Amino acid sequence: MTIAKHLEHTLLKPEATVEDIMQLCSEARKYGLFGVCVNPCYVGLARHLLSDTNVKVVTVVGFPLGAAFSEVKALETKMAVEAHADEIDMVMNVSAFKTGDYAAVVSDIRSVVEAASPFPVKVIIEACLLTDAEKCTACRLVAEGGAAFVKTSTGFNKGGATVDDVKLLAAEAEKYGLKVKAAGGIRDAEAAQAMLAAGAERIGTSAGHKIAAGEA
């Protein structure tokens, strides 16, 4: 499988316009990328633009803080699925996690997983805010909630994906049958290849077209 098939071409900036989303989808189509990742309001547009392709439409829920009510996250997920999103990237309730309320974290994840079914859910744990031990615990909770992936970062906090984090998460995720998505700060083919070598299955990047073009 080429690197392009691991790339989720991402545009989540609040100032992104319709024209920007159209360009994102055009680039994903051109290079045969795995998918695009857009904010919920653009799921319908992206699906329309990519309807005759195999490019997946991924969207985010509870983004970027993860602190919304679980019921709101579930409704957001339901609406995204109805708009034909193929995958959901939700943000874990980091505050609840840091407080030690693991039951609330699992319940929050499960509410989104159930609303997304049968489509896969990735859980963004915001690794830059966690210790290594906490990252391992987060993997366990993600699995308990029924999600398919653990994802490193939103890209909106103080740090993005690192090779060390991906290695750690991949080793832990394997115990639970989870996959890893690396996101945040991955801007060239060398960085993307390093993440894949470390155990990532997916790469979230705003430079998906450039990475794929470099490979070509």
Sign of CA dihedral 195, 200, 206, 209: positive
Residue 179 designated active-site: no
What string of DSSP letters covers 130-195?
S-HHHHHHHHHHHHHTT-SEEE---SSSS----HHHHHHHHHHHHHHT-EEEEESS--SHHHHHHH
Residue 101 designated active-site: no
Number of Cβ atoms within 10 Å of the Cβ of 62: 24
Which entry of 73, 86, 89, 179 is annotated as an active-site residue? 89
Residue 89 designated active-site: yes
Which tokens is 162 given?
A: 């690192």
Is-contact 156 128, C-beta < 8 A?
no
Which entry of 56, 73, 122, 181 is annotated as an active-site residue? 181
Which entry of 56, 122, 135, 151 is annotated as an active-site residue? 151
Q: In whole angstroms, what is the distance from residue 59 CA to residue 57 CA?
A: 7
Q: In whole angstroms, what is the distance from residue 209 CA to residue 79 CA?
A: 28
Spatial neighbors of 119 by CB under 8 A, at least 6 apart, are 81, 85, 86, 87, 88
Catalytic residue positions, numbered = 89, 151, 181
